[in-house]
Structure 1
Amino acid sequence: MLTPEYLESAPEGIVELYSKLDETITRDIVRRLVKTGGVSSTADWQIRRLQESGLLYEDIIRQVSQMTDASEPQVRALFQDAGIESLKYDFSIYEAAGLTPLPRLQSPAAAMVLQAGIQKTQGYLKNLSLTTATTTQQAYINAVTLAEMQVESGAFDYVTAIRNAVRVAAQSGTTVLYPTGHTDKLDVAVRRAVLTGVSQTSAQISERYADDMGCDLVETTAHAGARPSHQIWQGKVFSRSGSGKYPDFKQNTGYGTGAGLCGWNCRHSFFPFFEDLSESAYPRNKIQEYNSHTVTYNDQNVSYYDATQMQRAYERRIRATKRELAGYDEGVKSTDSDELRNVLKEKFNDSSVKLKRQESELKDFLQQTRLDRQREREQVISFGRSPAQSARHAAEQRYQQWVKNIGAKDSAPNSLAKYYKEKYNNSPAYKLLKGYSNAVDNGDISPLVGLKQYTDTAHRVESDILGLTTSTGVEIHSYATHFIDRVIGQVSTPHPGKRCGVSIEDAKDALIHPLKLGDVHNMENGDIRQTLFGKNATVTISIRDERLIQTNPR
């Protein structure tokens, strides 16, 4: 038996090795793209494209050959370790039943299964990797053809066309092509192949020992977050022969099929069970706890399985952005064109900001759900220290420039990390910064106002208006940041086409001593609003939310 925890981590070393191949190929494509030179005649371009694609194909075949040779010792070591690990628990049960199983190295049947599993998985990994040569060659041809068409159409200049081609190549990464036509990222395919190969080989060794020991009954392992189709049989006892009072093993678990026990990405296993001797390792209440386990995210209950799938999606997005960064980094290093280098640097900076946002989103998700972070699943392994440091520096520079541009440099969180901390805690400070930023972007206030004045104005509204009861009997408890925008205004003195601000005193007067009450409006979103007309200002409030919406001078 292999535990779910063992199977979870088993592929990591080999995935790391193939991730290096993934980035090597991505960088190779980008390097060839930026070295193409200007687009001259269509004939010359096509000849160069075909020549380069042929060279790329040969290079990838050579890289795959080197990689598969390097991975063979790791595959063998992993399978041997898994074989030893899987029999530890099984042997303890056989020995408790008074049986004496042969050590694995002395069992010809187990040795044959192990060797067959190693060879099958090594061959599968090689076949998967070799398909990358074809898919990568086609990806290169498609990228260059796209650039050619964009330049010839006159819609894009050469630098923009190559930038677009680099983006497509970097985002695509390295894919494998299955006989069915389905494609997967190389790291995803390798992880699935290794996990499935280890699981199935260990299961077959366990079967051979069960045959030798005359053991008909087996119990499946169980874990939280199992896919729904596996929850129905995890942690239960089955009969391998299908006879007696216990349900049929293969029929009920799908053992031997891709979708069943020990199939694609399955982390379940099984172990010997002897009636009247063994006790179930998984009491019914434990299975119920596993199957009904939920987490909370954004105030919603989410099943543990769905939460793990959400985590995988966050991780995939992070890996994809790191591939983009590696591609842009290679383009910056390889091009001889200063213009193209500057364009690719800008794209590198854009992706750096995106990466920091994605990492912060994942961190917030994990904090809310209390799931464990699995950093190895976020890595594009050879995304080395230098590109990573460059990405962090670029993202931080972008943030500092942004707060400077909106007039918030002295008042906003002083680093990007602190900004994201405020954001995902949804702090009052973040809400005001977001409101201020939107107001500046929309032209509702001048950036010369500064975040400090904006925040000070909000605090005055909180102290002077919140808690106040209007003449209509509504007690005000909150405000929209748009209300702060309107209090400050676009200009301080009348100016054609610009709106003046409203003093807090005039806004209070309109709420307490209105000269006129506007009609009550039922909004499409269910809100109920009314405008109160004072001597010098009007104020619109949400009756349902007891909230200040906006104000205007009269």
Structure 2
Amino acid sequence: MLTPEEVQKHADKVAERMEETEQKLLVSVASQARMPKDLTEQDIQDWQAEKVTQTAQLEKRNARIVAADLRDAEKELEHMIESVAHEAAERQDRTLRQFKPDADAPAVAASTAMVALVQEKQNEYRRVLQITGQTMFRQSQRVYLDILTAATQRVIEGDISPQEALREVASFWAERGIPALIDRAGRQWSTEAYVNMFVRTAAKSTAVEAQFVRMDDYGIDLIEVSSHMGARPRCAPYQGKIYSRSGRHPRFPPFSSTSYGEAAGLLGINCGHQIYPYIEGVSVKRYEPYPMRENDLVYQQSQRQRYFERRIRAAKREVEMMKALGDQEGVRLAQEKLRERQAVMRSFIKETGRTRRYDRERIV
């Protein structure tokens, strides 16, 4: 099974593609919201009214951005799912062949069940990606209107110039990003947070089900769940035990009795457990040869590094938005913020000895 870091690596390209789309939309919004340098407080409401009439123009441009980028993102997603499925299955095969060398199982590439799984997952998550793109498009329009309204309100209510107000509101949205999901509770998920979560979910789910497909190809029903310290509450009761996937074994409980399938459950998005085929009467190696505690530390550090990378990208987004607004002072302040965040990253890299990934700090 794939480790959390491996899952993340597979998910990166799709997530980065959608973050590029977000960047383009924010710059497009800023370009449309640009105001004259000599705009006065007395003219702010006229500026707002004029900009509102330009919403349709922005809508057409942003629709083209999303449509073009979605096509590329869908290709990346389809490739990711196929790669994850085959990698997880091939890794599983190395164990299965040891204990069932004479099994009449098709090669991974020739398995009809594997082909069906890949197609099913590609269709499922392609739909999610399309909905995400549509949400980003709609929300980009709302961000634009919010910038107009909030900037105007700040000028009317406070001792602030129109240019300063627009800079302040644009800076807020550069940091926050365009929402990619509004959940049932009304919570807004940023593009970075939601896309990263759903793509990692796609990769993890595909990897697990690819393992199950290969076990079916080899006629194996029983699985063993690994065990490690610090397991999450919804995982801990089920670790280190053997389960029947079919639920028909007389001695072992059904796998459906565990928390598998829950977001915070066994083999969920942030779960570090592994599963292995279990053959009665045969000694099966339980753990992959990597130290769990060391892996956990590496994973935690990688997530911390990604947090700093996100902050650097947000500062770069702000620089680009300020350029699109024609705000030279805003550009200077955003560049200062960027340098501060890059200094934090340098300190982190020096402290941990990790490799700095400049490619993950880039924006369009």
Residues 221 and 268, structure 1, Cα contact 8 Å, conserved in 2: yes
Q: What is the aligned partner in structure 1 of residue 13 from structure 2?
A: 13
Out of 102, 105, 116, the position equivalent to 2:106 is 102
1:251 matched to 2:238: no
For 1:154 and 1:11, how far apart are their aligned partners in 2?
A: 44
Out of 270, 289, 310, the position equivalent to 1:319 is 310
Which one has the largest radius of gyration? 1
For 1:228 and 1:82, how far apart are their aligned partners in 2?
A: 27
Q: Which residue identity is paired with 1:379?
A: R
For 2:207 and 2:294, how far apart are their aligned partners in 1?
A: 31
Q: Which residue identity is paired with 1:187?
A: E
For 2:339 and 2:15, how far apart are their aligned partners in 1?
A: 27
Residues 1:178 and 1:148: Cα distance change in structure 2 (over 3 Å)? closer
For 1:86 and 1:121, how far apart are their aligned partners in 2?
A: 18
For 2:52 and 2:324, how far apart are their aligned partners in 1?
A: 24
TM alignment of 1:30-41, pairs within 5 A:
30-35=30-35, 38=39, 41=43
For 1:222 and 1:53, how far apart are their aligned partners in 2?
A: 55
For 1:72 and 1:112, how far apart are their aligned partners in 2?
A: 18
Residues 1:4 and 1:218: Cα distance change in structure 2 (over 3 Å)? farther
Residues 1:76 and 1:153: Cα distance change in structure 2 (over 3 Å)? closer
Q: Which residue identity is paired with 1:362?
A: F
Could you list the per-position Cα deviations for residues 286-318 of structure 1 after superposition, in whole angstroms to 9, with x for gaps in the alignment?
A: 99x74xx489xxxxxxxx57x955763563354
For 1:25 and 1:279, how far apart are their aligned partners in 2?
A: 52
Q: What is the aligned partner in structure 1 of residue 22 from structure 2?
A: 22
* Pairwise CA distance, 1:224: 8.4
Q: Which residue identity is paired with 1:273?
A: Y
Q: Which residue identity is paired with 1:356?
A: Q
Q: Which residue identity is paired with 1:29?
A: V
For 2:252 and 2:355, how far apart are their aligned partners in 1?
A: 39
Give the paired residue count: 358
TM alignment of 1:213-252, pairs within 5 A:
213-220=218-225, 227=232, 229-230=234-235, 233-234=238-239, 236-242=241-247, 243-252=249-258
Query: Whose strand proportion is higher, 1 or 2?
Result: 1
Residues 1:379 and 1:113: Cα distance change in structure 2 (over 3 Å)? same
Could you list the per-position Cα deviations for residues 248-301 of structure 1 after superposition, in whole angstroms to 9, with x for gaps in the alignment?
A: 32323x222222234334454533221222423239xx99x74xx489xxxxxx
* Pairwise CA distance, 1:11: 0.7
For 1:29 and 1:255, how far apart are their aligned partners in 2?
A: 42
Residues 181 and 194, structure 2, Cα contact 8 Å, conserved in 1: no
Q: CA RMSD in A?
A: 3.3
Q: What is the aligned partner in structure 2 of residue 117 from structure 1?
A: 121
For 1:29 and 1:223, how far apart are their aligned partners in 2?
A: 48
Q: What is the aligned partner in structure 2 of residue 206 from structure 1?
A: 211
1:58 matched to 2:49: no
Local SS of the residue matching 1:219: strand
Q: What is the aligned partner in structure 1 of residue 168 from structure 2?
A: 164
Residues 1:136 and 1:277: Cα distance change in structure 2 (over 3 Å)? same
TM alignment of 1:371-450, pairs within 5 A:
372-373=354-355, 375=357, 379-382=360-363
* Pairwise CA distance, 1:117: 0.2
Residues 1:5 and 1:294: Cα distance change in structure 2 (over 3 Å)? closer
Residues 86 and 210, structure 2, Cα contact 8 Å, conserved in 1: no
For 1:264 and 1:36, how far apart are their aligned partners in 2?
A: 48
Which ranges of structure 2 fall in alignment gaps of 5 or more residues?
Answer: none
* Pairwise CA distance, 1:102: 1.7
Local SS of the residue matching 1:206: helix
State TM-score, norm by structure 1: 0.57
Higher RCO by CA contacts (8 Å cutoff, separation 6 or greater): 2
For 2:32 and 2:272, how far apart are their aligned partners in 1?
A: 41
For 2:104 and 2:3, how far apart are their aligned partners in 1?
A: 23
Q: Which residue identity is paired with 1:381?
A: R
For 1:206 and 1:263, how far apart are their aligned partners in 2?
A: 15
Local SS of the residue matching 1:171: helix
Q: Which residue identity is paired with 1:132?
A: M
Residues 143 and 168, structure 1, Cα contact 8 Å, conserved in 2: no
State TM-score, norm by structure 2: 0.83
Q: What is the aligned partner in structure 2 of residue 263 from structure 1?
A: 268
* Pairwise CA distance, 1:22: 2.1
Out of 148, 155, 159, the position equivalent to 1:151 is 155
Identity %: 20
Q: What is the aligned partner in structure 1 of residue 342 from structure 2?
A: 356
Residues 51 and 148, structure 2, Cα contact 8 Å, conserved in 1: yes
Residues 1:29 and 1:321: Cα distance change in structure 2 (over 3 Å)? farther
Residues 262 and 269, structure 1, Cα contact 8 Å, conserved in 2: yes
Q: Which residue identity is paired with 2:16?
A: E
Residues 1:354 and 1:5: Cα distance change in structure 2 (over 3 Å)? closer
Query: Whose helix proportion is higher, 1 or 2?
Result: 2
Local SS of the residue matching 1:150: helix
Q: Which residue identity is paired with 1:68?
A: L
TM alignment of 1:459-478, pairs within 5 A:
none
Local SS of the residue matching 1:6: helix
For 1:130 and 1:36, how far apart are their aligned partners in 2?
A: 32
Out of 170, 175, 179, the position equivalent to 1:175 is 179
